[in-house]
């Protein structure tokens, strides 16, 4: 079996020399267990039993996730988000485009940011014999926690995204875009200088540039949208010395999503990004690991609690919020789980809407 697969790989790789380069969209579909275009050099590789097993695994996982989570999240968003802004901010996101899209499917610009590296998607046609199986396994392993719980485990992500042939956040962004029904049109690295000015390709953004990627894509409606992912330190020292928030300011106001954020916004080390979100968001969707309720000005915000506030998980016992508990005594039901308490009957979601 391995000899046949290796022979197929070498034959296709040789033939690919005479074909067009593999597109980003075909690469995304291949990694997501979806057939690439018939003319793609990757198309022949879908006959490999290794890829077919991967496709079955991802098909099953995402079918369950769609039924359990995303169909319900989209229904909740349609019922509760009246006038979404073109931009959405998702701090501490990792490569989680899935929830960004599920909550704010009408956004035209997505800005995701976290410490996880951007990484790269290598030319799949140039992987060594046997490399495709290893690469697909790396993708499956990286998907495990978000498929099971709704969030990435930070320490596990550091390990998964730094090792293997497919490394960094970009391969997972590809998978999530493809599985969300998007068509990738263009992908390019981006860097921000200290003033928030954007530089592309090999342009020099200077020292201490904030590194990221810009992906242009479209959904079934054909509208072109933009996804930015920046690998950046969101602590006070990190954002004050970078141009990241200055860049975000040019896209504001927007809508924001915060979940499974390690309660970092409860500490004094993340006040700058907390103040940015409060000043530049029309709506904020968060679980209790987001902005503390005491930091919202009740004269400027209306609160709509959903689900049940059961308090923080054991890892963060000092983050219990009595005012949150009081607010959630009169909450509306929610039929999906999210955040660290990912079981539906334990999850909480707070929709905060800025008063006009």
Percent pLDDT > 70 in the chain is 88
Centroid of chain to Cα 58:
17
Whether this model's pTM surpasses 0.75: yes
Domain boundaries, the chain: 22-354
Asked if residues 88 and 254 have their Cβ atoms less than 8 Å apart, the reply is yes
Helix (H) or strand (E) holding 98: helix 97-103
Provide the pLDDT for residue 163: 55
Residue 227 above 60 pLDDT?
A: yes
Confidence tier at 20 by pLDDT (50, 70, 90): low
Query: What are the tens digits of pLDDT across the range 301-329?
Result: 999 999 999 999 999 999 999 999 999 99
Per 3-state DSSP, the chain is made up of helix, strand and coil in percentages (nearest 5) of 40, 20, 40
* Length reported for the chain: 356
Provide the pLDDT for residue 27: 96
- Over range 71-83, report the average pLDDT: 93
Please name which of 308, 314, 315 lies closest in space to residue 287, comparing C-alpha atoms: 308
Q: Which residue has the tokens 């998607």?
A: 121
DSSP 325: H
Please name which of 213, 292, 280, 218 lies closest in space to residue 249, comparing C-alpha atoms: 280
Query: What are the tens digits of pLDDT across the range 159-210?
Result: 554 556 677 899 999 999 999 999 999 999 999 999 999 999 888 888 889 9
Asked if residues 97 and 125 have their Cβ atoms less than 8 Å apart, the reply is no
- Over range 112-118, report the average pLDDT: 94
């Amino acid at each position: 079996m391995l000899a046949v697969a290796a022979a197929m790989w070498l034959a296709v790789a040789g033939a690919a020399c005479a074909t067009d380069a593999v597109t980003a969209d075909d690469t995304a579909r291949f990694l997501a267990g979806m057939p690439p275009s018939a003319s793609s050099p990757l198309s022949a590789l879908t006959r490999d039993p290794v890829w077919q097993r991967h496709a079955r695994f991802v098909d099953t996982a995402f079918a369950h996730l769609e039924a359990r989570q995303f169909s319900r999240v989209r229904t909740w968003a349609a019922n509760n988000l009246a006038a979404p802004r073109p931009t959405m901010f998702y701090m501490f996101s990792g490569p989680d485009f899935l929830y960004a899209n599920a909550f704010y499917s009408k956004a035209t610009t997505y800005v995701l940011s976290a410490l996880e590296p951007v990484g790269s998607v290598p030319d799949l046609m140039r992987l060594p014999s046997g490399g495709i199986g290893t690469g697909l396994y790396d993708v499956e392993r990286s998907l495990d926690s978000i498929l099971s719980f709704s969030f990435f485990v930070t320490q596990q992500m550091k390990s998964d995204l730094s090792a293997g042939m497919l490394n960094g956040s970009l391969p997972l962004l590809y998978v999530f875009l493809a599985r969300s029904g998007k068509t990738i049109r263009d992908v390019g690295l981006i860097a921000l200088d200290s003033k928030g000015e954007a530089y592309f390709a090999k342009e020099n953004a200077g020292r201490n540039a904030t590194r990221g990627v810009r992906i242009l894509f479209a959904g079934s409606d054909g509208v072109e949208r933009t996804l930015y992912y920046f690998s950046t330190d969101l602590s006070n020292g990190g954002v004050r010395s970078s141009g990241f928030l200055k860049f975000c300011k040019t896209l504001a106001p927007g809508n924001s999503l915060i979940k499974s954020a390690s309660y970092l916004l409860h500490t004094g080390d993340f006040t700058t990004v907390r103040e940015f979100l409060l000043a530049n968001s029309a709506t904020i969707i968060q679980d209790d690991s987001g902005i503390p309720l005491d930091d919202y000005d009740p004269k400027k915000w209306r609160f709509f609690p959903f689900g049940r506030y059961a308090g923080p998980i054991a890892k963060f016992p000092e983050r219990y919020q009595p005012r949150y508990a009081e607010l959630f005594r009169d909450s509306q039901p929610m039929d999906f789980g999210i955040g660290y308490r990912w079981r539906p009957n334990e999850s909480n979601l707070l929709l905060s809407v800025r008063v006009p």
